[in-house]
Structure 1
Amino acid sequence: METGALKRKAAQIRMDLLRMIHRAGTGHTGGSLSNTDILTSLYYRVMKIDPANPKWAERDRFIASKGHAVESLWCILADRGFFPKEELETFSRFGTRLIGHPNNKVPGIEMNTGALGHGLAISVGMALAAKRDGRSSRVFCLMGDGEQAEGSVWEAAMAGAHYRLDNLVGIIDRNRLQISGPTEDVMGLDPLDDKWSAFGWHVVPVDGNDVDALVNVFEAAPEVSGKPTLVLAHTVKGKGVSFAEHVPKWHHHVPNDKELALALSELSAELGSLEQIKGGQA
């Protein structure tokens, strides 16, 4: 998918996840909006996957270590055909497979996540297994920035460098907000780039809401042989909804009817602008 189509798809996914959260009355809105461009770039352009054969041995793996921001992932997996789109209407209902964190009973989900700090360690194991099995698979692990306060993240970072896992790509959704406020107030993280470099990773800062830039970074990895890649994706929490951007309460705020209508109006306008650009290029 070319980058213009990726931008349009990201706007559509944001609209879908807002409707889903509103309908369910629960969800992690801000982080799902911030990571949408990352997931859209991976699932529609970069990753080697087959929705008709989700257990294909040569597939690339994606681990949502920040599992609470699952809403964008559910919408993308449905749109890619891993399960019927109609199932999105069951999100967070009693008995559903589509719970508030990734659930590996759903095709396309590699592991259950939720408790922060575990996804990178599992990803290290998957990347090491691919190396030892002689597979070309890459492993992508999306982490939150607040998650960087977990010690297990840094144990896994050491292991990834030690085993020279250049088929491993860690991604930090660096929106600088977590449930209890700005990350630098809760537990200072900067300079994250220097810290990951010191742990032996090749660090690439990028605008995490720019699909052109994201695609270039993901497709180039690994740029350094024998080193895992850390994509430091600078994003906006609540991206795409003006009154949600940079607002801490939108971490898990559910839009009411008025807020949903306003948000969909903004995203529809953005989608319309992108469609006009598409038409002008045709």
Structure 2
Amino acid sequence: MADIQQLKDLTTQVRRDIVRQVHAVNSGHPGGSLGCAEFLVVLYNEIMQHDPSFDMDGKGEDLFFLSNGHISPVFYSVLARAGYFPVEELNTFRKLDSRLQGHPTTHEGLPGVRIASGSLGQGMSVAIGAAEAKKLNNDKRTIFTLHGDGELQEGQNWEAIMYASANKVDNLIATIDVNGQQIDGSTESVLALGDLENKFVAFGWEVVIVANGNDIASVISGIEEAISLSRKQKPVCILLHTSMGHGVDFMMGSHKWHGVAPNDEQLAEALKQNPETLGDY
């Protein structure tokens, strides 16, 4: 297991990777990627039992499914830094014939990617299928997922959420990135989500709240609490409160950076705020 400082250093480097990827091709989604950096760094480097040599079945491993696939820059960076593929391949992000498409795909054969997640709202359903397969195979490992809060406006999520509790899918831990922002504005102004905690409780889930999802120690504590609540006849939800664009001050908290790449001057400022720690690709 890594110590807190190692995880912080890795998170800073991942943030550099994110802004460099989207800047190089003038496209991509930096805001949500930056906000979820701590969560994915902790998950892959502190929590999950997983094998970077990678096979699609993942027998005997914890599995992760990224539902809000547009935050692929953070996913690709964390996978590369965890040894799934060469870090240098981040140079190919969103380029022709790249395995690192703007939204993750499976037909490219990129290690670490088990579902295509360009269309929002589908990750929960896939994860439930994987969790039930684990149970059928007497595999004791856990399924982890990540979803955007705006993504919960898709109705398929709530069918899946209802199904998971009704069928006691208790080896599933679903995390919601609660940053309050989506492409067209705040979630409150676009389509208010209401009281997410009580919604999940009403649907028969256990709920863990992480008030500061951009703090490494808080993320570790929250996931560990969720794990302690799992395997008790209920699925578990983590409401992870983050700031969109976290770590780059001019991006933080604004929906405007949902899907906009920084220009040359903005990139330089973002990199200045996130000094190189582990070596750029």
Q: TM-score, normalised by structure 2?
A: 0.93
Give the CA deviation at 1:127.
Answer: 0.6
Q: 1:52 — aligned with what?
A: 53
Instruction: Please point out which of 217, 235, 240 is paired with 1:228.
Output: 235
Give the CA deviation at 1:183.
Answer: 0.1
Q: 2:86 — aligned with what?
A: 84
The answer on whether the counterparts of 2:93 and 2:100 sit within 8 Å (CA) in structure 1 is yes
The answer on whether the counterparts of 1:166 and 1:222 sit within 8 Å (CA) in structure 2 is no
Give the CA deviation at 1:4.
Answer: 2.0
The answer on whether the counterparts of 1:30 and 1:250 sit within 8 Å (CA) in structure 2 is yes
**Residue 250 of structure 2 corresponds to residue 243 of structure 1:** yes
Q: 1:147 — aligned with what?
A: 151
**Segments ≥4 residues shifted beyond 4 Å:** none
| 5+ residue gaps, structure 2 | none
Cα separation, 2, equivalents of 1:54 and 1:18: 29
**Residue 102 of structure 2 corresponds to residue 100 of structure 1:** yes
SS of 2:105 mapped into structure 1: coil
Amino acid at match of 1:42: L
Give the CA deviation at 1:249.
Answer: 1.0
Amino acid at match of 2:42: S
1:90-239 equivalence runs, <5 A: 90-104=92-106, 105-206=109-210, 207-220=212-225, 221-223=227-229, 225-239=232-246
Indicate the larger mover: 102-111 or 219-228: 219-228
SS of 1:117 mapped into structure 2: coil
Cα separation, 2, equivalents of 1:108 and 1:54: 8
Give the CA deviation at 1:223.
Answer: 1.3
Identity of aligned residues (%): 39
Give the CA deviation at 1:8.
Answer: 1.4
The answer on whether the counterparts of 1:54 and 1:82 sit within 8 Å (CA) in structure 2 is no
Give the CA deviation at 1:219.
Answer: 2.4
Change (3 A) 1:156 1:254: same
SS of 1:140 mapped into structure 2: strand
Cα separation, 2, equivalents of 1:109 and 1:222: 27
User: CA-atom RMSD, angstroms?
Assistant: 1.4
Indicate the larger mover: 94-103 or 54-63: 54-63
Q: 1:265 — aligned with what?
A: 272
Q: 1:255 — aligned with what?
A: 262
| 5+ residue gaps, structure 1 | 273-282
Q: 1:280 — aligned with what?
A: none
Give the CA deviation at 1:217.
Answer: 2.1
Q: 1:10 — aligned with what?
A: 11
Instruction: Please point out which of 66, 71, 74 is paired with 1:72.
Output: 74
Cα separation, 2, equivalents of 1:194 and 1:260: 40
